[in-house]
Amino acid sequence: MNHISLDRQKAYLVTGTAGFIGFYLAKRLLDEGCMVVGIDNMNDYYDTGLKQARLNLLIPYERFRFVRGGIENKELVFKLFKEYGFDIVINLAAQAGVRYSVHHPDVYIQSNIVGFFNIIEACRHYRTEHLVYASSSSVYGANKKIPFEEIDAADTPVSLYAATKKADELMAYAYSHLYGIPSTGLRFFTVYGPFGRPDMSYFQFTDKYFRNEPIRVFNNGDLTNDLYRDFTYVDDIIEGMARIIANPPSKTGDEAAHRVFNIGSSSPVKLMDFIITLEWALSKVLGRPVEFERIYEPLKPGDVRATYASSRLLQDATGYRPSTLLKDGLLKFAEWYKSYYNVC
C-alpha cells in the first residue's frame, strides 16, 4: 500500500493512547505533524511498564498532549472536547480480552458501554467531523460462515466483550442517524507486532519460552481441525486506519453516515503454522533452534474456532491491502522482544 498523508490542520483525539494500536496510530499522526491529544487510564490489565514505555516514545513530540484518565469519566471527556474542539476522534479505549470478560464483566460495561457513550455524546455536542471507533471480529460470535463479511448477522455473541462491541456499533449508528455524526466502526481481527499486547498468544508463547514453561494450545491437539486466525501486522492496520480517517462517510438517502469495516489480512493462518513460524523467527534472532513445549487443551469459553476477515469493502473504499508477510512481521516482533527484554 502507498502511504497516505493526513490533514495536519485538524485536531485529533486518540483514546487508549498507551495501548498497542493507539500508540502506533498516535505516533503516525505525530510523525506527520498533526496535533494529537491522548487519553488513557493506564490500568493494570497487563504490564503498565509496557504502556509507559509506549507513552514515553510519544511524550517528546511537541504537538502531543497526554491526559491520564478514563473515558467513563464524562466530566473529563467533555472538558477535553471543550478545550481542544476535536475535528477527528478515534476511540480505541476499551477493556480488551475475551476470556477476562467471563470473570470481570463490570469493567467492560463501564469502559466499553458507558465510556463509549460519553465519547459519542461529546461528539454530538461539539460537532466532530469524523468518529472512528474500535469494534472487534468477536461480534461475529457463533457465525459459522467464512470469511466473515460485514453483511453477515452478528447477533450471537459468545462473550460479554463481543456483546459490548456490538452495542457500540448500534449506539454509533443511532447517533449518526439522529445527529448526523459521520462515524466508522472497525472490526479488528488479530493484530500483532512490536510493543504488542502481552495477553495475545504470540506474546504469551514467547514469554513462556524464556521462562522455560510449556505453551497451552487450545485446539485439543486436533491438527486436522486446527484453529484459524486472521493475523495482521500493525503497520498495515495503521495504514488502513489512516485511509479511513481521511474519508468520513456521507449520508445517502435514508442511510445514516455510518459504516462498519472489517480490518484484517483476509489470509487466515492455522494456529500450528503460526506457532512454527514464530519458532522460526525466534531461532533466527537468537541464533539457535527454538521449539516450544506444547500442552494441548480444549477451546476456552468465549473463544471461536476461526476468524477470517473479508476486507473487500475496505479495499474497495480505500485501496487497503496489507502487504507484510507473516514471517516478516514475526521476525520484527522477535527482534523487538530480544532488545526490549534483553534476552539471549
Cell numbers describing residue 90: 478515534
- CA atoms 70, 73, 79, 82: torsion sign: positive
Neighbours of 153 (CB within 10 A): 9
- The one catalytic residue in 161, 173, 308, 320 is 161
C-alpha to C-alpha distance for 73 and 80, rounded to whole angstroms: 11
Decide the pairing of beta strands 130-136 and 183-188: parallel
DSSP secondary structure of 29-50: HHHTT-EEEEEE---SSS-HHH
- DSSP states of 289-329: -----EEE-PPPTT--SB--B--HHHHHHH-------HHHH
CB 217 within 8 A of CB 295: yes
Is 133 catalytic? The answer is no
> Which active-site residues does the annotation give?
161
